[in-house]
Amino acid sequence: MAIFSKIGKSADLMFGLTERMDVDLGSLAQNNPEQAAQEYRSMVLQCTGCSDPVACAKLQRSNDHLDEAPEYCRNRDALNALRVK
């Protein structure tokens, strides 16, 4: 059961980053829902291997907005590319 808990926490962290970075997951899903779901799932699974989820959670608690993903984020490039500019 620990893996499901870890995936759930990673999904929460990923969703938090997308909110703080103005990544519009809804518009991505509108264009191609199946592909968007696969990409998001891949990003969540990447997040489960994060080197510092505690720092990510702390960063999110102390920031309502982020201009970019943190350096240690395994999804940094993807999140930065998806950010609404």
The model's pLDDT over 37-69, given as tens digits with 9 standing for 90+, comes to: 898 999 999 999 999 999 999 999 999 999 999
Neighbouring C-alpha atoms within 13 Å toward the C-beta of 85 = 4
Phi, psi of 83 (to 5 degrees): -60, 135
Q: Is the pTM of this model over 0.75?
A: yes
Nearest to 49 by CA among 13, 85, 82, 1: 13
Query: Given a cut of 70, is residue 85 above it in pLDDT?
Result: no
Domain range summary for the chain, segments of one domain joined by +: 2-82
